[in-house]
Amino acid sequence: MERTFLMIKPDGVQRNLIGEIIRRFEAKGFTLIGLKLMNVSKELAEKHYEVHKDRPFFPGLIEYITSGPVTAMVWEGNGVIASARKIIGATKPLEAEPGTIRGDYGVTVGRNLIHGSDAPETAQTEIALWFKDEELASWQPSLTPWIYE
Ligand code: RTP
Ligand code: MG
């Protein structure tokens, strides 16, 4: 079963949107297997966004991600990586469709509420970066037969 790493960014936590955001992935039919509220060190933020290290927005991005607690999560399900990116919406909230998380709650790219892994390789790297194996709960929800044929 596919897994992805999702992180509610500090603005999502401060705006009391943790429940609303988790609700969307639960209601979709994906399975939560890892969850923690945590402060992010500069080192972890820089590793997570390493691919953007030479971009002009990098220092501001690191400041944003380390500015308060985040909600780190691992979700499981068929096609969860691409589907979560659709549920999250476009990077720039003003370009994100209504009905997506960024489209419904965001205005600016520097406060776009949530991160989602963009491919199977990055999902694997990010899950290993943010979670220890023993922090992930492997379980089969009883509703599975009502979600997958
Ligand atoms: P994320 O990695 O956070 O899920 O976002 P994404 O894939 O939709 O977008 P990405 O290109 O990976 O950018 C990472 C994050 O950097 C911030 N950003 N700021 N000021 C800017 O022009 C700018 N561009 C990107 C955003 O927080 C974006 O989510
Ligand atoms: Mg990205």
Pocket probe mutation, ligand 1, options 51, 112, 114, max atoms within 8 Å of Cβ: 112
CB 5 within 8 A of CB 123: yes
Catalytic residues: 115
Ligand 1 pocket member 115 (CB < 6 A)? yes
Give the number of C-alpha atoms closer than 13 A to the C-alpha of residue 143, restricted to the C-beta side.
8
Is the ipTM higher than 0.90? The answer is yes
Ligand positioned closest to the Cα atom of 70: 1
Ligand number nearest to the C-alpha of 91 = 1
CB-hemisphere CA count at 13 Å for 71? 18
Report the pLDDT value the prediction gives residue 15, as an integer from 0 to 100: 98
Residues of the chain with pLDDT under 70: none
C-beta of 119 in contact with ligand 1 (< 6 A) = no
Q: Whose CA is nearest to atom 6 of ligand 1?
A: 91
The rounded mean pLDDT for the chain is: 98
Per-residue pLDDT tens for 35-78? 999 999 999 999 999 999 999 999 999 999 999 999 999 999 99
State the closest ligand 1 atom to the C-alpha of 110, by its place in the atom list counted from 1: 27
Question: What stretches of 29-79 show up as alpha helix (H) in DSSP?
Answer: 42-48, 58-65
Nearest ligand 1 atom to alpha carbon 65: 27
